[in-house]
Amino acid sequence: MRSRQDIEAERLAGAWAKSGDFFGAILAGLLLGLLGDSLAGTSPILVIVGVIAGFGVGFQKMFEFSKKIEEQAEMARSERDGR
């Protein structure tokens, strides 16, 4: 059985990875918006759209991750309580 410290370390590592996903999604939206604006000459419309879309994707990923952690915590509680 894994120790509590190992479980907490795994969760922390996952949280850091997901924060990278969050900021990566925003950065990808920004870069795609810059590229689109440079090609279409619509500055800064597509940058704004890209950043907003990046935030949306980032928040979706964070929501899915938090849901997964909650499910794992619920499983651990039920195993601990012997259900």
Prediction pTM value: 0.80
Q: What is the pLDDT of residue 82?
A: 77
**Mean pLDDT of the region 1-25:** 87
**24 vs 1, more confident:** 24
Determine the pLDDT at residue 21: 93
Please name which of 25, 46, 26 lies closest in space to residue 34, comparing C-alpha atoms.
Answer: 46
DSSP states of 3-67: -HHHHHHHHHHHHHHHHHHHHHHHHHHHHHHHHHHHHHT-TTHHHHHHHHHHHHHHHHHHHHHHH
Domain range summary for the chain, segments of one domain joined by +: 18-72
**C-alpha angle 57/63/66, rounded to 5°?**
145
Structure confidence at residue 83 as a pLDDT band (50, 70, 90): low
How do residues 14-58 score in pLDDT, each as one tens digit? 888 989 999 999 999 999 999 999 999 998 999 999 999 999 999
